[in-house]
Chains A and B, each alone.
Chain A
């Protein structure tokens, strides 16, 4: 049984089918990449998985049970953490407070939450920023903070939404290391990413969508060579050539 099963997911905004009949699985311990051109429905898929949006039809199973109709915070308690593409630091709280607030998802006392938060910040290489207000972090720090906050809820599955966007090459390598380290800790990952260097190196499998529909699925190299994917990204001529 897969950890996460998305079955025939459809999400319509009025007449626009943002996600149209997408199905995929994430197995335990796997890193699955979700790629597609801008506006292809990747973030909408995320928003459906953690129930920011009610889905139009289809089913999403986590550990074999449907999570349709649950509230966002319940999804988090079940063990699905997420980061946001447009980062949402809790600006006027310190970095440590950001992660501590999140850690209360699993523990109850201040001390336990703080200890958990400190450990996670250490893990994410942010511990030298602990007492800075979150709004003072540069973009790389904010992306890390997103991850740290999601990790503090002790997820089984982590949804990463363009964690590497806007990072410089050095920061990219660090981000890749961090994501691998997270997987080594037994957390499965579903990642949306545009930067090919990231998605090609870390994904076990890639699922490509365009206009809300699946166009390819498989190992990173297969998908990269798939004509439909090349066409979606680079246009028809390149695909034929």
Chain B
């Protein structure tokens, strides 16, 4: 266990000094996006991985967070940074409604309901033009020219999110969430208010996802419904980050975010300009293949099956730590 802690500290310091060493805006941007996905993936993981309520609609919370920050600027004329505080809260309010509706359903039916929810809210955001400016989107002016402040804000957000989720999973709530995942009826007969705690999990999850959305608005300075409420780029991506990294592990989504954002960028840039450009069209295909591979050979994700990876890939004997 000592080795693990040392590794964490080294990684932490490495990320702290990374922007001071690597002075490339491009790589800073990539890591900022990765941090944002660490937050979204971890939040999704809390609800789906630990509590067993698989959401196909995390774009709902991401988008509401982003639009909260955006509308603060366009309609209230206050800084989008207020959105960082309130984006999460508005997301929670929406989460409360989503929970009220969707938690009447279990398992795949819940997942389908959240999928529908995501599409509904995307259509609302597209058509409620007086509030959201519809497909025109919201454009604001970035506060900082440099990427450095954004880098550290995203880093702090990712760390806070992982830390809070770790804290929750070590508490009574953690036991409750996992009990609900394993068997909802048994959990109820053990005195666990399953409806309440499913909602608690959803609220924490939606809060962090909403905050990540608000950060996205601040950082990218432009949003429209097709981007922030996207099924493909947000909801599905959140699931991929969780599954590839490792469902129901603390660090899984963090690893998943690195792999997925890295892969996405590698393909988008056609292997950083080295491969013919048509290859950038293939990223969905590769995502699909990756998911098939992970589900078949690493059902618990990279972090969950780390021992297996060590054994087969690095030809190491399983350690007896």
Q: Which residues of A contact B (CB under 8 A)?
A: 50, 52, 71-73, 76-77, 81-82, 84, 88-93, 97, 100-102, 104-105, 108, 110, 113, 149-150, 152-153
Look across to chain A and name the residue whose beta carbon is closest to the beta carbon of B196. A73
Query: Is B186 a contact of A73 with CB atoms below 8 Å?
Result: no
> Is B97 at the interface (CB under 8 A from chain A)?
no
> Which residues from chain B contact A113 at a C-beta distance below 8 Å?
172, 175
Q: Is the interface of B mostly helix, strand, loop or mixed?
A: helix
Give complex CA distance A91, B187 in Å: 12
Contact A90/B172 with A50-B189, A73-B194 known, Cβ cut-off 8 Å: no
Query: Is B185 a contact of A52 with CB atoms below 8 Å?
Result: yes
> Is B206 at the interface (CB under 8 A from chain A)?
no
Which of B8-16, B105-113, B176-184 lines the interface with chain A?
B176-184
> Which residues from chain A contact B190 at a C-beta distance below 8 Å?
73, 76, 101-102, 105, 149-150, 152-153
Chain B nearest CB, measured from A168 CB (Å)? 25
Give complex CA distance A105, B172 in Å: 10
B interface residues, tally (CB under 8 Å): 19
Contact A105/B191 with A90-B182, A92-B182, A93-B178 known, Cβ cut-off 8 Å: yes
> Which residues from chain B contact A81 at a C-beta distance below 8 Å?
189
Would you give 30 A-B contacts (Cβ < 8 Å), ordered by A? A52-B185, A71-B193, A72-B185, A73-B189, A73-B190, A73-B191, A76-B188, A76-B189, A76-B190, A77-B191, A82-B189, A89-B182, A89-B186, A90-B179, A90-B186, A90-B187, A93-B178, A93-B182, A101-B178, A101-B187, A101-B190, A101-B192, A104-B175, A104-B191, A104-B192, A105-B190, A110-B172, A113-B172, A149-B190, A153-B191
Look across to chain B and name the residue whose beta carbon is closest to the beta carbon of A108. B172
Give complex CA distance A36, B252 in Å: 50
The 3 A-B residue pairs whose C-beta atoms are closest, nearest first, are A105-B191, A76-B191, A90-B182
> Which residues from chain A contact B182 at a C-beta distance below 8 Å?
89-93
Chain B nearest CB, measured from A43 CB (Å)? 13
Contact A88/B172 with A50-B189, A73-B191, A73-B193 known, Cβ cut-off 8 Å: no
Chain A nearest CB, measured from B163 CB (Å)? 18
> Is B170 at the interface (CB under 8 A from chain A)?
yes
> Which residues from chain B contact A89 at a C-beta distance below 8 Å?
182-183, 186
Query: Is A110 a contact of B170 with CB atoms below 8 Å?
Result: yes
Q: Which residues 152-174 in B have Cβ within 8 Å of A in the complex?
A: 170-172
Query: Is B192 a contact of A73 with CB atoms below 8 Å?
Result: yes
Look across to chain A and name the residue whose beta carbon is closest to the beta carbon of B170. A110
Look across to chain A and name the residue whose beta carbon is closest to the beta carbon of B192. A73
Chain B nearest CB, measured from A238 CB (Å)? 38
Chain B nearest CB, measured from A154 CB (Å)? 10
Give complex CA distance A139, B193 in Å: 28
